[in-house]
Structure 1
């Protein structure tokens, strides 16, 4: 390992391909690989959920939990096709369940996870320069390092970066959780962990980490405002000097239309005409008329954040424009019922697929002409970057990472890589779609150049990984030189 290489522990509640509910898993499965390629000693720690069957037994040890001991079992595997080690934190009581989240003892589960991760390090003889903590599930790690482990020689010089992937999900629990995590009443005040009468794990991470980041530059600014700050905007403004934004990347080896085994027909910039074969095959599989009509795609969680009410509001008008629509997603019952009803109303134009199917997702990225992301807010978003990679032109709302990655197409200058709109209004969204359809139908050569420009966009992890290394070094400098403590 080179002299300037870093030792990095990447901690996440989900990591692709082992366990995934959203974009966090994609980041956790891709960024460490890019860091490894750059010469750093990076390792991952995550829970070993019931669905994860792999992992070779390494060791076990006691973990103190609210005046009793639990056993932490460490199993080790690798990210397939890569030599990044993955430490699987195993415990039958907490993780051998159907599903990942949504249990009444979430505070206890992820308190155990954080404690087990820190206790594991001397056991596996790995002393990281920095622990990269992701979202509320890891929020207790920076807290522990600056309280319980503050004077321990093994842990004293370990810096922390806390990444906010979605501020809406914070890990908020009743006050009695303080006893569970071994803290006294002095921590239950607004300057520490108290949050409107409860305890907030996300707040712990923001408060105690050496450096904080979120997953796009614009979202880093947005979350410091009441509109996007989810009641933590005041704290984030206080820590604004330590708050950074880095746009996520995607795995360009995995997300490659020239080699993707999941799509119907491989293609690239030089063989762009072959892309249309993916549309025709997708139409056939979805039971839609096979014809050269604009095909709009969306792959999303069915939750309010994703702007689905805008889609519902304009759906009748969209269908009157002579387009087809393919959706893949799962989530709230309200939206599942809504889109099921729209499918029945427009059986020859709309295909609704409830649930998640990784292979079908790739087929939609490759087969659609236009990709829709009208999000109410979007910390980063990966789908718009994947759609660019596949030459499928995104129509997005100009917020968060969507604003950082998609440049609105200018018909006069021919610049831009997609279409965007600002007001969260059905009319603005529909107008952006109409602009895209106008170019698609009336100016096919311009549309082709737009597709090529989209496919040439660089949102690879290698670019973002370099920015993360800079943040790791900032965190180390703050931790080691200034011995920063916001709360003592």
Structure 2
């Protein structure tokens, strides 16, 4: 199949979150399976040495009603020398200090920027004569594309057999903008469709994608189910229910070339399930690196953005009680300044057992995964989650809430001891989280041989992109028939 993969970010080029990882790993896997994949993304000036990539097209997106045009260039790059990447360059839209926002404030014209990107992507594909069987959109940034295909190109012989799919990585972010931002797309801005509108003057990009795409998937089966519920749908549950027959869940794979303790260059000692002594050495060196007492107390690690979504609001109310126990806790992440300040206060109070690093530090993230005994992910919602997969690979038992991809990828000891890989709690309550932490602590202290068995279980689990890509293939085929 010919697949045009649209994304707002891409690992090795520019990244703010998990979407960038998926946008690299899935196309790479699809190419291995003999599909012709072209990735399309904005040419941000933050992309290292973007000006070295050759310009392969000079184009203009024109409004047919008043003949105003937006000129742009197309540059061509390669991802890992395997997948062609087309970069849409327009200084006004993409030569900025950041991708989406500055100083925690989204760019006011994000609707216009990403509407332009979606429309320019289809124009470029036509110009370069790459006829896609599938246009694969991701999240709200590219969610207008299925609508543009359906309305602007409805009589186009070029796109007549093209089908669109959209992947929901995080349904909380929907892209709601005034219709006036779509001035270059009268085919879209003048549509009066209550299903995709948000009030009288606004349009909801994600609703457009869900309404017009041929198939929809979420990044885990449980998250697909949650999207259809009042609590999990973020105000769009009915939109998903209306498309229930075209909605599925596909768990993300994990990039084990980056996250495998037997080859990881970011950790002091490599190990596997047969050489667990070296995991203990990683633990002691993590303690040394973070200025914690070097000892055999269990380490609970956490690497995340400091937001309510990640369950920080479940952790902070019970932090005092948690740190009364003989444990060590290491949290790495940045976020809301008020949350950072609270955690910094706790480091003064519990200097011998709690470390908080308000940084994004890839090496430290790897060291925390390798050196911890447990990994905390008490998320309020989690479409897929990657850190629990990393934790499993490193024999660091995840403590997670029963939501989304966490529920789909971790097996709870209290429900299935034989195949267990971690611990799960259900209620989004601080006390429920604390009870689960205590349960894990008792397990570590009183059933240590059993703990080591579960650790081996965890290390033998694999969520390979080859399996995920097979599921995406099936979805593509169903979209085409």
With the length of structure 2 as denominator, give the TM-score of the two structures.
Answer: 0.94
Runs of 4+ in 1 over 6 A off after TM superposition: none
- SS at the partner of 2:356? strand
Matches for 1:295-444 after TM superposition, within 5 Å:
295-410=299-414, 413-444=417-448
Instruction: Tell me the equivalent position of 2:104.
Output: none
Matches for 1:118-157 after TM superposition, within 5 Å:
118-157=122-161
Contact (CA 8 Å) 2:375, 2:396: kept in 1 or not? yes
Contact (CA 8 Å) 2:333, 2:360: kept in 1 or not? yes
Q: Does 1:451 align with 2:455?
A: yes
Shift of 1:449: 1.1
Residue-pair matches, total:
471
Taking the aligned partners of 2:84 and 2:171, their CA distance within structure 1 comes to: 28
Matches for 1:112-191 after TM superposition, within 5 Å:
112-183=116-187, 187-191=191-195
- SS at the partner of 1:93? helix
Instruction: Tell me the equivalent position of 1:271.
Output: 275
Taking the aligned partners of 1:210 and 1:185, their CA distance within structure 2 comes to: 21
- SS at the partner of 1:278? helix
Out of 21-30 and 62-71, give the one that drifted further: 62-71
Q: Deviations over 1:144-191 (max 9, x none)?
A: 000001110111211111011101001011242353532467523413
Contact (CA 8 Å) 1:187, 1:193: kept in 2 or not? no
Instruction: Tell me the equivalent position of 2:68.
Output: 68
Instruction: Tell me the equivalent position of 1:22.
Output: 17
Taking the aligned partners of 1:265 and 1:42, their CA distance within structure 2 comes to: 37
Instruction: Tell me the equivalent position of 2:8.
Output: 13
* Counterpart among 231, 234, 237 of residue 230 in structure 1: 234
Contact (CA 8 Å) 2:167, 2:216: kept in 1 or not? yes
Taking the aligned partners of 1:306 and 1:181, their CA distance within structure 2 comes to: 37
* Counterpart among 54, 57, 60 of residue 59 in structure 1: 57
Out of 384-393 and 353-362, give the one that drifted further: 353-362
Show structure 2 runs of 5+ residues with no match: 102-106
Contact (CA 8 Å) 2:57, 2:74: kept in 1 or not? yes
Contact (CA 8 Å) 2:196, 2:205: kept in 1 or not? no
Shift of 1:195: 4.7
- SS at the partner of 1:253? coil
Contact (CA 8 Å) 1:390, 1:455: kept in 2 or not? yes
- SS at the partner of 1:8? strand
Contact (CA 8 Å) 1:145, 1:156: kept in 2 or not? no
- SS at the partner of 1:167? coil
Taking the aligned partners of 1:47 and 1:186, their CA distance within structure 2 comes to: 26
- Call closer, same or farther: CA 1:440–1:377 in 2, change over 3 Å: same
Contact (CA 8 Å) 1:414, 1:446: kept in 2 or not? no
Q: Deviations over 1:238-276 (max 9, x none)?
A: 111111111111112221111111111111112122011
Q: How much is the aligned-residue C-alpha RMSD, in angstroms?
A: 1.7
Contact (CA 8 Å) 2:171, 2:234: kept in 1 or not? yes
Q: Deviations over 1:195-240 (max 9, x none)?
A: 5752111111111000001011111111111111111111110111
* Counterpart among 46, 49, 53 of residue 44 in structure 2: 49
- SS at the partner of 1:327? strand
Shift of 1:88: 1.5
Shift of 1:126: 1.3
